Amino acid sequence: MLEVSALGWIVTIGVIVALLALDLTLGVLRPHVVGFREAAGWSIFYIAVAIVFGIVFGSVYGWGPGTEYFAGYIVEKSLSVDNLFVFVIIMTTFAVPERYQQEVLTFGIIIALVLRVIFIALGAALLTAFSFMFLIFGLILLYTAVQLFRHRDEDPDVGENALVKAGRRFLPVTEDYVEGKMVTRIDGKRMFTPLFLVLLAIGGTDLLFALDSIPAVFGVTESAYIVFVANAFALLGLRALFFLVKGLLDRLVYLSTGLSLILAFIGVKLVLHWAHKDINDAVPEVSTPVSLAVIIGILIITTVASLIKSRRDPSLKAHAGSLRAKSSDQQHAEN
């Protein structure tokens, strides 16, 4: 089992906090419309930082843990693209002005990181105490994969988000965005702006994605440290990546299909790992290099097939996928 010293944790957290502070400064203190060149530059920067960290980490701790890190990072990065897809839907639904989108994204990333730290700690404790949790996590991923595949051509309904529904029902909300504020005063009365509802929607989305992504990354490594850094580096580049790919997401028509296959593969891997440990050591396990190859292969095939399909039929539009079918009333309203 990988053991990272207290100093190693402190240095890692310090680097991540510094990068988060940089992202916060760019996204909140300097709100502006992000162009393609700026988005591309920062996306390359964050991916380069993640790769350099992986190389240094592998050199120090060995390439077994290093391979686990890269596998975990790729899994989380691929899931984060689907997360971005939902962010685009939320921004469109609430008609968020472009100059305020950075602020919402940055706070959304912070919420996602905090939630995942909580779930990482909980998941690591459960896996250490109860080996059958590998089976539970595996079954959760298999269920999620099946549901996502069944509803791969649908988008989640932002209006059905429990936090958004509660906010609309119990909070006084202004009609307009008020200079990018989340809370304001009108005639001496405290009011919340639509930007606050957007943050609630993104927070609820972050919670759902954390419930899926943490079992998924524990499927490629049992190290809480690797799970943490893989999640952190995958999330830190989301703000820039959002502006880089939001115009391309519609072309990834097989994205949800590819993600469902990845989740199903990792779910099977976790079930086999549990059976190997608790039932019979003759049960085969899937190695990390094989996992990395399968995940990369699925992503490449999914991306290439999506681009070919969308080029042949430009009218096709990609969907983020949903874990549940829309009600008949929702479908009727859309039609």
pLDDT class of 49 with cuts at 50, 70, 90: very high
pLDDT class of 301 with cuts at 50, 70, 90: very high
> What pLDDT, in 10s, does the model give residues 236-261?
877 778 777 766 777 888 888 888 89
Q: Measure the CA–CA gap between 303 and 202, rounded to whole angstroms.
A: 25
pLDDT of residue 335: 46
Q: Which contacts (CB < 8 Å, 24+ apart) does range 246-250 have?
A: 246/84, 246/88, 249/81, 249/84, 249/85, 249/88, 249/318, 250/310, 250/317, 250/318
184, pLDDT greater than 50? yes
Least confident of 71-80, 201-210, 216-225: 201-210
Determine contact, residues 253/316, Cβ cutoff 8 Å.
Answer: yes
Q: Measure the CA–CA gap between 58 and 60, rounded to whole angstroms.
A: 5
Sorted by where each begins, the domain ranges of the chain are: 6-320
pLDDT of residue 70: 92
Mapped onto helix, strand or coil, the DSSP state of residue 75 is helix
Average pLDDT, the chain: 81
Q: What angle do CA 10, 289, 150 make, to 5 degrees?
A: 95
Least confident of 160-164, 252-256, 274-278, 296-300: 160-164
333, pLDDT greater than 50? no
pLDDT of residue 161: 65
> What pLDDT, in 10s, does the model give residues 114-139?
888 888 888 888 888 888 888 898 89
193, pLDDT greater than 60? yes
pLDDT of residue 160: 65
Q: Which of 233-253 are b and which e, b meaning 16 or more Cβ less than 10 Å from the residue's Cβ?
A: bbbbbbbbbbbbbbeebbbbb
pLDDT of residue 75: 86
Structure tokens at 300: 């490449």
pTM of model > 0.85: no
Tokens 């995942």: give the residue.
116
